[in-house]
Amino acid sequence: MIISVMVTGSPVSQQSARTALSFCEAALAAGHQLYRVFFYEDGVYIGSSLTVSPQDERNINADWSAFVQKHQLDAVICVASALKRGVLNENEATRYEKSASNLAAGFDISGLGQWVDACLNSDRVVNFGA
Amino acid sequence: MKTLTFLSRQAPFGSSKAKACLDMVLASAVFEQQINYVFMDDGVWQLVRGHAPEAIGAKNTMAALPALELYGVDKVYALEESLTGRGLTPEHLQIPVIVCTKTQLQAIIKASDVVTAL
């Protein structure tokens, strides 16, 4: 089955990003195909490479970045959500004259059209909101 | 063409959920999909006319609702029990909606390819 996933919950204060990662790992292990993972609203914080976790806690941002790179997934951070929340790649940082960029490896910044495209090309779209 | 159903369940101001849902609806409309835009729970407050959120520093996102028709989004629903539970009638709303029952909403969801709740 072709599956796409959308994450809207905050990786810092909600469980959704971690549950979504477990779901994606299980989906691949079961032989399904992940067409795209789309991060929207507070979910875009997953794309920040600047998060620091206490030593006895797992860094969910690092886990997601490693996961999408390992499986070469199409992982899209919504541009409108990301700009508001200070998640920028080099292009956006330059465009808006910001002092730094922070998008983690493995992610792309793009628009909501990528989510609609995922809906049109997937058998299932699963949302992780809170 | 796919049928995309959006369940907008949050009040218009106080969180970004209402705008996030509206943006998804408009993006889907650009792709010319069959769209059901359902307002339920506190989401029905988004439909009420006369919002003036500028006083709290918020943008009146819901001012875009009358443009839905131009985008081809003509299946706009409000859940009956959400309206009546809040003392709202269609006369309070800024756009015409199809008032639907829970049973009708179940049928809408069942006939959808993708359901997104925000």
| Catalytic, out of A46, A76, A78, A118 | A78
User: Does position B113 have pLDDT exceeding 80, yes or no?
Assistant: yes
Per cent of chain A over pLDDT 70 is 99
Q: Give yes or no: A119 in active site.
A: no
Q: What are the pLDDT digits (tens) for A45-64?
A: 999 999 999 999 999 999 99
Q: What are the pLDDT digits (tens) for A18-47?
A: 999 999 999 999 999 999 999 999 999 999
Tally of CA atoms within 13 A in the half-sphere of B62 that contains its CB: 25
Task: Outline where chain A has alpha helix (H).
Answer: 16-29, 60-70, 79-85, 90-95, 113-121
Q: Which of B63, B62, B76, B64 is nearest to B34 (CA)?
A: B76
- Joined together, the tokens standing for residue B4 give 């995309």
Q: Which residue from A minimizes the CA distance to B1?
A: A120
**Per-residue model confidence (pLDDT) at position B102:** 98
- Answer whether A8 sits within 8 Å of B114, measured CB to CB: no
pLDDT mean across residues, chain A? 97
**Per-residue model confidence (pLDDT) at position A28:** 98
Mutate to test the interface with A, among B7, B28, B114 (most CBs of A within 10 A): B114
**Domain tally, chain A:** 1
Give the closest-approach CA distance of B42 to chain A in angstroms. Answer: 17
**Per-residue model confidence (pLDDT) at position A1:** 97
Domains recognised in chain B with CATH numbers:
3-117 (3.40.1260.10)
Note whether B62 and B12 are within 8 A (CB): yes
DSSP A50-69: -----TTS--HHHHHHHHHH
B31 touches chain A (CB under 8 A): yes
Q: Which residue from A minimizes the CA distance to B118?
A: A129
Q: Which range marks the domain in which residue A89 is found?
A: 2-128
Give the closest-approach CA distance of B7 to chain A in angstroms. Answer: 13
CATH number for the domain that contains residue A48: 3.40.1260.10
Contacts of B31 in chain A (CB under 8 A): 113, 116-117, 120
